[in-house]
Amino acid sequence: MKIYFYLFSLFLFTACGGDKVSSDAELQALEASRIAQEAAYEGVTNAHDRIMPRMGEVTAAQRAIKERLEAGGLADDTEDLLEAAYEELEDAEDGMMEWMRNLKSLDELRETMNNDAIISYIRDENAEIAEVETAMTTSIANAKKIVGDHSGHNHGQGGHNH
């Protein structure tokens, strides 16, 4: 009978000890996952922080276009270009606002997703913010080009073809 008690105690001790090792390994894996999630999420927030100040450029470009349109006396093709550029800026701005509105916090993600799903979500968000950045950069450059290219259009500058 003592031998059974001894074997049972040994089994119980080994099982508990094994759980501790497993728990330590699980804790280390969990911590590594959390660190990876935080680093990936930081990439998303860094992209946001890099792009957000450009919203002022979008507003300034929209204002310049609006002033040109309100001044009137534009050729139809110039007016069409300015309106298209304004709309492109508006779309870029809307894209940024929508992206910010839909971005989930890391805490929200951790409440409902496992590590693989979180990393996948963050990758998708990185791709989306890259698209927003491209749209914003392109629309600002296009607006500046159009406003600059057509700034003297109706002032009788000879030798200038638009």
The pLDDT value given to residue 25: 86
How far apart (Å, rounded) are the C-alpha atoms in residues 32 and 41?
Answer: 14
Residue at 90: amino acid letter? E
Q: Nearest Cα to 58, choosing from 85, 86, 98, 89?
A: 89
The pLDDT value given to residue 121: 97
Q: Nearest Cα to 89, choosing from 156, 14, 146?
A: 146
How far apart (Å, rounded) are the C-alpha atoms in residues 139 and 93?
Answer: 10
DSSP sequence for the chain? -HHHHHHHHHHHHHHHHHHHHHHHHHHHHHHHHHHHHHHHHHHHHHHHHHHGGGHHHHHHHHHHHHHHHHH----HHHHHHHHHHHHHHHHHHHHHHHHHHHPPPHHHHHHH--HHHHHHHHHHHHHHHHHHHHHHHHHHHHHHHHHHHTTTTTTT-TT---
pLDDT tens for each residue of the chain, 162 residues long = 444 443 344 444 444 444 454 688 888 988 999 999 999 999 999 999 999 999 999 999 999 999 999 998 989 999 999 999 999 999 999 999 999 999 999 999 999 999 999 999 999 999 999 999 999 999 999 999 988 855 444 433 333 333
